Structure 1
């Protein structure tokens, strides 16, 4: 069944309701923010640019919750001025159940990453518990705002399943960076406004990085592995590296998720110049060729660094990013002060 793409008016209505959700909803915990991020990410990674529906299981969403909250189940505040290290409280009442479940799992099994956790037989019980919490709480209450229920995002589709409504997958894909930005900024404010976090936060200035970005230790491990794989050269300009940045090939600002196959080593100057821009055709071709030849090695490097590693997801995200840029008349970075328009030829890189 073919579904018509949302009209301009339909997309504006979606954004209006999304804005109302953030301003008029009751956020007693951070679960609703996590659910919005998870739905937007899964729409990009599993969906398509059409007006159709997208079926998701609560276990798929639960797995994304585990990945999002995994680092947040560790103490925050170590080494900060006037801070007492502790796990941040993410509920207005008792600690959020997902945080408690992950923290207990980490302590019992001594695993440092979600990837290592997935290999344990006990992980399925953790996933089942988190999926049950997701089903009972944010999935039930996310679409309640302004004193009413507006089922504009998804509806239940049987036991353990939800279905994004027609047009929602398209809108989540198109406005994914905005959804991420809104959810993350409100998430940070929610934690800061909880009085029980005052002693933990101290004079915090890196809370957002702690909540959502890879740790410095993970980036250093990623850099070490990439040096062994790619050699001592900048991915973009090809010259020898002295100092190196671990750069997101698809910019973090466009898709704020740390994925092993999306990382490359770059000169700090190349990294700053490219900034939040997609890379031009020759660089994209080189990156895709690298995925084709070194996917397994990048997976091993990522797993050792504690990063999510999935080559197909990384390709899907890149395809989504360039398609979005094409529809918006975007330009791609080739070298400092050198850009080229993103045109229809870019789609060929993903079909070759």
Structure 2
């Protein structure tokens, strides 16, 4: 079976041994500086959180498990900013009488320029989803605006903390790009969940403590879901379309579906970004039992085959639901997830109360 990105993955696997990963001491030093960045950095807007999330996502999706540098363009990063802030450009409302729906303010001064640019773009193209927007010729102008802001602001200031500039994450690499320094992409992949959790938690806190948002959010507790998760409407679209595509059987146990959950095959807790190619339909009981674990080998084999045979259809579902839909990226995220579990001695879910170790044979499935 010819899986997406197979030739590129084989080439990267061959090259991985050429640049050794960072030492344990270097990894601990990286974590210490990440902690200092959050503790000692100046966060006047939410851009720095978005930048950290974007760098971590891209390290997982296009990086490798070695110590090599990773070059990323400003436009690649800007595209992630648009995807992160797209939903934020719609009014948030709690439905409570003591609050008033509105677009959340994400800067201590004027509204964040990235959010303003997205709001203006959406006003000129009403009803469009972010994935549809990315296929439009007019999207290039929006991307240029956002890339300019990203370059001038968070890329310039993220590494300023404790009164000094410490370029431990990246250097500017020519015009319109940065280079993650040796070992940084590895560490972002290795500590991805921690970087995500810290960034998202601080992002939510930043919005909650901005007094101009108090009349919008009140004491709402679901702000994180609004900021970072797919909407219920999008998930309903995914569920309905997956029934048409895959039929009325649970992806895991094969039993007939009456009620069904839309499940993240690679758990959302591991990789908190909604990807159409990562969704499957499951019995609620199977979904609860699998929970935050990876699927065992029979499930992985089935999922990989589905990536090949139904990739176009899954992309269409993503377009309808307004979420990312890229089979190659989904494949690379799964490789990273299973490799991380293998290194940590993790176990994969087979069925209720049944698990098995994630062995090297799991990783071999991605290269056959």
TM-score tier after normalising by the smaller chain length: over 0.9
Deviates more, 1:110-119 or 1:175-184: 110-119
* Residue number in structure 1 paired with 2:59: 43
For residue 239 of structure 1, report the CA deviation from its aligned partner: 0.3
Aligned-residue RMSD, C-alpha: 1.0
* Residue number in structure 2 paired with 1:243: 259
* Residue number in structure 1 paired with 2:118: 102
| 2:70 maps to 1:54 | yes
1:78-227 → structure 2 map (5 Å cutoff): 79-227=95-243
Count residues in correspondence: 352
For residue 80 of structure 1, report the CA deviation from its aligned partner: 3.8
The match for 1:338 among 344, 351, 354 is 354
What is the DSSP-based 3-state SS (H/G/I as helix, E as strand, rest coil) of the residue aligned with 1:55? strand
For residue 79 of structure 1, report the CA deviation from its aligned partner: 2.2
* Residue number in structure 2 paired with 1:269: 285
Contact 2:94 2:220 in 1 (8 A): no
CA deviation vs aligned residue, 1:53-95 (integer Å, no higher than 9, x gap): 0000000000000000000011001524522000000000000
What is the DSSP-based 3-state SS (H/G/I as helix, E as strand, rest coil) of the residue aligned with 1:42? helix
Higher relative contact order, chain-length normalized (CA < 8 Å, sep 6+): 2
The match for 1:290 among 296, 299, 306 is 306
For residue 248 of structure 1, report the CA deviation from its aligned partner: 0.3
Contact 1:82 1:199 in 2 (8 A): yes
Contact 1:80 1:204 in 2 (8 A): no
The match for 2:343 among 295, 315, 327 is 327
What is the DSSP-based 3-state SS (H/G/I as helix, E as strand, rest coil) of the residue aligned with 2:310? helix
Using structure 2 for the length normalisation, give the TM-score. 0.94
Contact 2:94 2:217 in 1 (8 A): no
Contact 1:73 1:99 in 2 (8 A): yes
CA deviation vs aligned residue, 1:123-182 (integer Å, no higher than 9, x gap): 100000000100000000000000001000000011101000000010001111110000
CA deviation vs aligned residue, 1:181-229 (integer Å, no higher than 9, x gap): 0000000000000000000002312100000000000000000000000
Contact 1:77 1:202 in 2 (8 A): no
For residue 244 of structure 1, report the CA deviation from its aligned partner: 0.7
What is the DSSP-based 3-state SS (H/G/I as helix, E as strand, rest coil) of the residue aligned with 2:227? helix
Contact 1:83 1:203 in 2 (8 A): no
Gapped regions of structure 1 (runs ≥ 5): none
Deviates more, 1:75-84 or 1:239-248: 75-84
For residue 104 of structure 1, report the CA deviation from its aligned partner: 0.8
* Residue number in structure 1 paired with 2:318: 302
Using structure 1 for the length normalisation, give the TM-score. 0.99
Contact 1:52 1:166 in 2 (8 A): yes
